[in-house]
Amino acid sequence: MNNWLIFLVLLAPVICGLLDALTPKRVFGIIGSFVSLLAIGGLWLGDHTAVSIPVLLPGVGITYGAEPLGLLLAGVTIVVWLGTSIFSVRYMKHEHAVPRFYVLFGLSVGGAIACFLARDFLALLLGFEVMSLASYGLVAHAKNDRAQRAGRLYLNLGVIGGVLVAIALALLWDHAGSLSYAKLHDIPLHIAVLLSLGFAIKAGAYPMHFWLPEAHPVAPSPGSALLSGILIKTGAFGLLQVASLTADGHTYGLVLIIVALVTMSLGVLLALVQHDAKKMLAYHSVSQMGYILLGIGLWAFDHNALGLGGAVLHIMNHALFKSALFLICGSALLSAGTVDLYKLGSMRKAFGLLTPLALIPALGIAGVPGFNGYVSKTLLHDALLHAHTPSALLVIAEKIFVLVAFGTVCSFIKFTWYVFFADRKSTSELPRTSVAEIAGIGVMVICIVALGLFPQPVLDTLAHTAHELHGHWPEHLEIFGHHALESAVMVLGGGLALFFIGLYTGLFHLHLPERFSTLAISSSLGRLVLATYGSISGVLARAWLALWGWFSREMDLLKVSLQCLDCRPNPSPSLRTLSVTNLNFDVYVVMAVLSVLIIMYPLVM
């Protein structure tokens, strides 16, 4: 019975996406997510079974199982799917290519769930690639140049990440003869690094973070909610698996901690000076990913159980409050026609008496006691204080943790003020927010409050998992103790003070020129490095550019040829919109890579 429940959870999003694409009511996602939640409950109460599907090579299969951490993350994914499906009932009436959106949305959700339920790296890679290719269509959904550029950037980085993971898995198979989590121990550091680079691109860790602020603002708000709330967490989940299995956890964890501190600092600083609400939330996804990576790094460094628990819980919490915040931006876009913070204001009139409901996600991410973000941030802070890292790094990390918390509180006071309470520049009347929008946001809000007030069942599950993985979980964990509450009040006060400083000094309006953007700086550094090598490097660079130009032209011709093969199953316009342009090219690339692996397998063995 449990095997069928696993298949139901994996396939329900894909089937419901297809049905929503073919019918005008768009209710199958809502029904399917309810059924999937019931299935997750059945798996939780049943045995921790697994199903294996043999593929490709003798002894190699893809395995999905009902393990506690995977079920927690899959459950949160389904909650986000439910909320965004309800919200989309009205929102997508104002968008084009709606059938295509629902097909890709269902594939993205299904791919993410497959990642969380995977019990081996090949199953994780399969879900990872399905999700990456499908979500590319969500990023490039709009017809404008900005969306298409962001889509190409997202797709290119996704392909690079997938190739790095595939190469690492080939090396891992050659080294260990298995890709199953249960059979792998002591992954060599060079393979762990390759895997981590692939997963870090999807997670949005520094310095591979620059695609997030490009992709999130252009995607439809339900797509942004899924991208930021769930899809980047698959990269974090992959990093967690690598951290648990790597041979040199000390070195790996230390590097990951440093990357985490840079990621969380850079994300919050860039978020503070944004005027586009969705771009601000995208940079906060970078910053909050820093918190998650910090916990994973502490777990890898010395099996810090609180680091593991804090990372997993913050993955869940961030999925909830960030998805809700992107849906609030979607409501603002429908009501006011803009997500510019300085042109919004007065959204309290659109939400009416339910305005407090819309404020709860901001309270969650700010770490206010009684809401979910407070619990996971307290866990991570305690993990940091109990870590056995070098003392100098520990002091620096603790200071950065607190300063980033100040910046997060400041950002969401700013977000709340300018979206809901500041006076609008326009005198036009705002239309009231629909029931579907409120209900979609409300699904996440209920979970934010529930996890904030009653976190113990999840904490017990995390403690049990940490013990199974030989981590030490404290017997007496005071989440709501005097010291933790005092720290939270201090952070809230510091964030409020920072908000008033930014408000009255104009720091919020500071904008770096385009040439100082992250992407521009990365390109400039690359050109500078080439220029410093002198004439020999210049010749090599010109040769590379010529080769790259030839390769690009050939690939463009191939892409145009493959686009001609793009499936259009019926002359009916409603079915023709189901065709996903450009995805055939990537399917052929994946088929080519798999073919090479199959051909090389007898030679390697």
Looking at residues 292-303, what average pLDDT do you find?
93
State residue 178's pLDDT score. Answer: 85
One-letter amino acid at 77 equals T
Q: How far is CA 419 from the centre of its chain?
A: 24
Give the E-state strand segments of 269-397 in sequence order: none
Instruction: Report DSSP state, residue 352.
Output: G
Which CA distances in Å does 360 have to 121, 348, 365, 372, 591? 37, 13, 9, 10, 46
Tens of pLDDT, residues 322-335: 999 999 999 998 88
Residue 322 to residue 281: CA distance in whole angstroms:
8
What's the whole-number average pLDDT of the chain?
Answer: 84
Least confident of 183-187, 262-266, 421-425, 492-496: 421-425
State residue 378's pLDDT score. Answer: 94
State residue 533's pLDDT score. Answer: 42
H/E element, 61: strand 61-65
Tokens of 279: 């771009």
56 has pLDDT over 70: no
Tens of pLDDT, residues 450-465: 999 999 999 999 999 9
Nearest to 14 by CA among 99, 139, 102: 102
Strand 50-54, strand 61-65: pairing: antiparallel
Nearest to 208 by CA among 312, 290, 135, 325: 290
- Residues whose CB falls within 8 Å of the CB of residue 111, separated by 6 or more in sequence, listed in order: 127, 128, 129, 130, 131, 132, 134, 135, 234
H/E element, 114: helix 98-117
596 has pLDDT over 60: no
Tens of pLDDT, residues 465-516: 998 888 888 888 888 888 889 999 999 999 999 998 888 887 776 665 554 4
State residue 577's pLDDT score. Answer: 41
200, 208 Cβ separation under 8 angstroms: yes
State residue 206's pLDDT score. Answer: 84
For the chain, give the percent of residues with pLDDT over 70.
Answer: 82
Instruction: Report DSSP state, residue 51.
Output: E
Tens of pLDDT, residues 8-45: 999 999 999 999 999 888 899 999 999 999 999 999 98
Ranked by mean pLDDT, the top range of 149-153, 239-243, 570-574 is 239-243
Exposed / middle / buried, residue 588 (Cβ in 10 Å: 0-12, 13-18, 19+): middle
546 has pLDDT over 90: no
87 has pLDDT over 50: yes
Nearest to 138 by CA among 90, 112, 109, 101: 101
3-class secondary structure, 595: helix
Residue 309 to residue 321: CA distance in whole angstroms:
18
Instruction: Report DSSP state, residue 343.
Output: G
3-class secondary structure, 472: strand
State residue 574's pLDDT score. Answer: 43
- Residues whose CB falls within 8 Å of the CB of residue 482, separated by 6 or more in sequence, listed in order: none
Residue 466 to residue 68: CA distance in whole angstroms:
11
For the chain, give the percent of residues with pLDDT over 90.
Answer: 48
452, 375 Cβ separation under 8 angstroms: yes
Taking the CA atoms of the chain, what radius of gyration do you get in angstroms?
23
For CA atoms 78, 84, 87, 89, the dihedral sign is: negative
408 has pLDDT over 50: yes
Tokens of 315: 């993955």
Residue 421 to residue 28: CA distance in whole angstroms:
36
List, as one string, the DSSP characters of 28-44: HHHHHHHHHHHHHHHHH
Rounded (5°) CA angle 113-326-382: 70
Q: What is the 3-state secondary structure (H, E, C) of 158-191?
A: HHHHHHHHHHHHHHHHHHHCCCEHHHCCCECHHH
364, 373 Cβ separation under 8 angstroms: yes
Residue 135 to residue 122: CA distance in whole angstroms:
20
Q: How confident is the model at residue 391 (pLDDT cuts 50, 70, 90)?
A: confident
Tokens of 205: 């860790």
Residue 286 to residue 228: CA distance in whole angstroms:
9
Q: Which residue has the higher pLDDT, 249 or 459?
A: 459
486, 398 Cβ separation under 8 angstroms: no
575 has pLDDT over 50: no
Within 10 angstroms of residue 370's Cβ, the number of other Cβ atoms is 15
Residue 78 to residue 92: CA distance in whole angstroms:
19
State residue 282's pLDDT score. Answer: 92
Tokens of 47: 């045995």
Nearest to 209 by CA among 111, 311, 287: 287
Helical H segments across 208-248, by residue range: 212-215, 221-226, 232-245
Q: How far is CA 387 from the centre of its chain?
A: 26
For CA atoms 287, 291, 292, 298, the dihedral sign is: positive
State residue 548's pLDDT score. Answer: 61
Looking at residues 49-56, what average pLDDT do you find?
73
DSSP-assigned beta bridge partners for residue 50 = 65
Looking at residues 514-524, what average pLDDT do you find?
49
350 has pLDDT over 80: yes
3-class secondary structure, 577: coil
State residue 209's pLDDT score. Answer: 82
Peptide bond preceding 207: is omega within 30 degrees of 0, i.e. cis? yes
State residue 58's pLDDT score. Answer: 58
Phi and psi (nearest 5°) for 570? -160, 145
Phi and psi (nearest 5°) for 72? -60, -50
State residue 264's pLDDT score. Answer: 94
State residue 580's pLDDT score. Answer: 44
304, 386 Cβ separation under 8 angstroms: yes
State residue 582's pLDDT score. Answer: 44
State residue 508's pLDDT score. Answer: 74
